[in-house]
Amino acid sequence: MGLITRSSFQLSLIVLLMIPMPALAISAITCHCFTDRSYDPARPTVADPYLLATTQNSFFAAAFGVDKKTIVMKKQKGTSADDLWIAYWLGARSGADPGNLLQERKVKGSWRLAATALNISEKSLGSRVDEALKANAPDERLARMVVDDLLLRFRFYDEPELAALRKAGAGNQELVLSGLIAAKTHQSPMQLYRDVKKAATSWGALLQQAKIDNSEIPSEVTALVMATNGSRAKKE
């Protein structure tokens, strides 16, 4: 019995060593998937993390004209949402490849340094992003400025609405999803956000009430983005 156990262990070890390390790393990352993706009235909030994430990914894909799967894969391989927002924003305004910009960020240690060589004008960057870069703001704040500019550009909100929601604590994902539901139902995005925060409803329930199926989220988001004269977040 001991011989069989040792043989089994040795065989398992050999198989493990034959697997390339990148494959092991990817496996470790991709195991953190959403297990609950559909609204369940018995557990109304269980799918909310997935719904928030997939709506944000759909907005990202529509805003920058990229494949949503590409963004999801980059996140699964460890790239943060903040870095993706910033890299694609800078890439859209400079013509630089976002993947190369992500590498530059790693090498130079900050987005301010990575962006310096791009020589993007303040007008093209947008005043919010430009000021955040000059202040060497944390990546989270810089990404927030990018998202705010996109939400305003695509008319998900006007300036006072967006400022009020940010002040109330709304994050990037919540802003995108509340904007989508508000556009579909003509409800106040602030009221939607507050209702979810005080546990009076859930994002899944609100999507059900808006008659937006999970499979329709990408097309609904894209329609909102393209309604703004068909423009995307390209260089001005």
Instruction: Give me the residues paired with residue 196 across strands.
Output: none
- 3-class DSSP assignment, residue 43: strand
Count the Cβ atoms, other than its own, within 10 Å of residue 224.
20
DSSP letters along 54-74, please?
A: HHHHHHHHHHHT--HHHHHHH
> 226: closest CA among 176, 160, 153?
153
Q: What is the pLDDT of residues 188-214, one digit of tens each?
A: 999 999 999 999 999 999 999 999 999
Distances (CA, A) of 159 to 64, 149, 221: 22, 10, 20
Q: How confident is the model at residue 187 (pLDDT cuts 50, 70, 90)?
A: very high
Q: How confident is the model at residue 15 (pLDDT cuts 50, 70, 90)?
A: very low
Kindly report the backbone phi and psi dihedral angles of residue 40, in degrees, each rounded to the nearest multiple of 5, phi listed first: -125, 110
Quote the CA–CA distance of 164 and 15 in Å, as a whole number. 56
The pLDDT score that the predictor gives to residue 26 is: 38
Enumerate residues 6+ apart whose C-beta is below 8 A from 234.
Answer: 92, 93
Examine the pLDDT at 62 and tell me if it is beyond 90. Answer: yes
Enumerate residues 6+ apart whose C-beta is below 8 A from 121.
Answer: none
Q: What is the pLDDT of residues 85-98, one digit of tens each?
A: 999 999 999 999 99
Q: What is the pLDDT of residues 101-128, one digit of tens each?
A: 999 999 999 999 999 999 999 999 999 9
Kindly report the backbone phi and psi dihedral angles of residue 43, in degrees, each rounded to the nearest multiple of 5, phi listed first: -135, 75
Q: Which two tokens stand for residue 39?
A: 């609204």
Q: How confident is the model at residue 27 (pLDDT cuts 50, 70, 90)?
A: very low
Evaluate whether 120 touches 90 at the Cβ level (below 8 Å).
yes
Examine the pLDDT at 140 and tell me if it is beyond 90. Answer: yes
The pLDDT score that the predictor gives to residue 18 is: 44
Q: How confident is the model at residue 228 (pLDDT cuts 50, 70, 90)?
A: confident
Q: Which two tokens stand for residue 84?
A: 């993706």
- Give the long-range contacts of residues 1-10, CB within 8 A, separation 24 or more: none
Average pLDDT rounded to a whole number, residues 41-55: 97
Q: How confident is the model at residue 232 (pLDDT cuts 50, 70, 90)?
A: low
- 3-class DSSP assignment, residue 135: coil
Average pLDDT rounded to a whole number, residues 50-73: 96
The pLDDT score that the predictor gives to residue 5 is: 47
